[in-house]
Amino acid sequence: MKSIVWIKHASQLATLAQNSEGPRIKEAMNELSIIEDGSVWIEDGVIKAVGTTTELERKFNDRAHEAEITDASGHLVTPGLVDPHTHVAYGGSREREFEMRLEGATYMDIMNAGGGIHATTRMTREASEDELVEQSKKRLDSFLQHGVTTVEGKSGYGLDLENELKQLRVMKRLQDEHPIDLVPTFMGAHAVPTDYKGREEEFVELIIDEMLPAVADEKLAVFNDVFCEVGVFTPEQSERILEAGKMYGLIPKIHADEIEPYGGAELAAKVGAISAEHLLKASDDGITAMADAGTIACLLPATALFLREEAAKGRKMIDEGVPVAISTDCNPGSSPTTSMPLVMNLACISMRLTPAEALTAATYNAACAIQMENKTGSLEVGKQGDVVLWDISNYQELQYLFGVNHVKTVWKKGVKVVG
Ligand SMILES: [Zn+2]
């Protein structure tokens, strides 16, 4: 018995379908390929047809009795959102640091005092695999509630071989046990652990000589990410770690120019990173280099807001031809949110993306940033039935009625998981 979902009469079916390879740039980010009175037919988790309701009725009316039909009259329907940058599998919580920052401490003050990433590292090391799975599942449930059906997740709260592998194994279990697709990234170079203070080079060698081979051996990650920042890893160290990862087939990503301009955007282009993250302080040359190399800018406006920093120059990046994706950066320190709708709102408000660009950045381009664009990120025949029905009628409202969760129904691989 086939499982069939038939969504009909969407006031706007934003398919995001285009006849082009790779991430969308410039004007193409505004093209949502909307079908009015749109319809989708999903069979055994895979999209079999997309078109107007009239077209699909002509094709499938004699099989209507086999389908679970949803009348989407008056509603916007989009692909499931994709979050291409999270640190979702962590232990503990850091609300006290939030309070400290409001009292005047900076993010780097807290980190240098053993808080920040170090605090989460302690709590993640202390937690068992089962405990981490349970905590993280709740966050993934919340992602689904906000219309997110695919998430990237990074290690980097283990910071030793055993605990980095533990964090990645937790993500592997989450991929098996939770409906969300979770794409894993190794990020051993997230911070220099406190016991390596003054011996940073030794830690870089540990990553290159022991962690990367072990991660590759167990096939626990697709990407290799580095926090290239003043006081964390230098551009030179970052380059060595990313080049070493490439030898094991791990694709580079880079946390770049978040706090200080440090040549991170330039390095992302140079090593052929699939994406560079944050980029609040990216230089003009760095932005040009990324446009030339086709490096995706993964922008995190909720993090900028939460740290009370000015957001990245999203408008300028799109105008200069950089493909832009957006993400929550879900993590316990600088962005403890799972709301991609809020991130889309902020992309418009604080980075001046258009409502259509923000949706592209949260679906198709986000999928490209984690090499999932052949499976999800747009509503096209052959892709997974990852679909969101919103309790609003058009895509402009999605960005305009901000700070509210408009998700009504979510299907993941053709299975209703919300609503
Ligand atoms: Zn991050």
Helix, strand, coil % over all residues of the chain, rounded to 5: 40, 25, 35
- How far does residue 132's CA lie from ligand 1's centre (Å)? 18
From first to last of its 419 residues, the chain has per-residue pLDDT tens of 789 999 999 999 999 998 889 999 999 999 999 999 999 999 999 999 999 999 999 999 999 999 999 999 999 999 999 999 999 999 999 999 999 989 999 878 888 888 898 999 999 999 999 999 999 999 999 999 999 999 999 999 999 999 999 999 999 999 999 999 999 999 999 999 999 999 999 999 999 999 999 999 999 999 999 999 999 999 999 999 999 999 999 999 999 999 999 999 999 999 999 999 999 999 999 999 999 999 999 999 999 999 999 999 999 999 999 999 999 999 999 999 999 999 999 999 999 999 999 999 999 999 999 999 999 999 999 999 999 999 999 999 999 999 999 999 999 999 999 99
Contact present, 46 and 342 (Cβ < 8 Å): no
CA angle 380, 382, 384 (to 5 degrees): 80
Q: Please tell me the distance between residue 195's alpha carbon and the centre of ligand 1 in angstroms.
A: 22
Chain-centre distance of CA 137, in angstroms?
Answer: 16
Residue found by looking up tokens 């999203």 in the block = 314
For residue 278, report the distance from its CA to the centre of ligand 1, in Å. 8
Q: How far is CA 305 from CA 199, 311, 328, in A?
A: 34, 7, 11
Collapsing DSSP states into helix, strand and coil, what is residue 295? coil
CA of 30 to the centre of ligand 1 (A): 27
Could you tell me the two tokens for 205?
A: 């060698």
Which pLDDT belongs to residue 128? 97
pLDDT value, residue 111: 80
CB 110 within 8 A of CB 117: no
The rounded Å distance from CA 312 to ligand 1 centre is: 14
How far does residue 255's CA lie from ligand 1's centre (Å)? Answer: 7
β-strands 387-390, 275-278: how paired?
Answer: unpaired
CA of 187 to the centre of ligand 1 (A): 9
For 288, the token pair is 């040009």
Cα–Cα distance for residue pair 41/60, rounded to 1 Å: 9
Burial degree of 376 (CB within 10 A; 0-12, 13-18, 19+): buried
Task: Check if the beta carbon of residue 153 is closer than 8 Å to that of residue 190.
Answer: no
Ligand 1 centroid–CA 92 distance in Å is 17
Cα(330) to centroid(ligand 1), Å: 8
CA of 47 to the centre of ligand 1 (A): 32
- The closest of 407, 242, 409 to 338, measured between CA atoms, is 407
How is 110-129 classified by DSSP, letter by letter?
Answer: HHHTT-THHHHHHHHHHS-H
DSSP character for 46? Answer: E
- What are the structure tokens assigned to 43, written together? 């069979």
Tell me how far the alpha carbon of residue 328 lies from the centroid of ligand 1, in angstroms.
Answer: 9
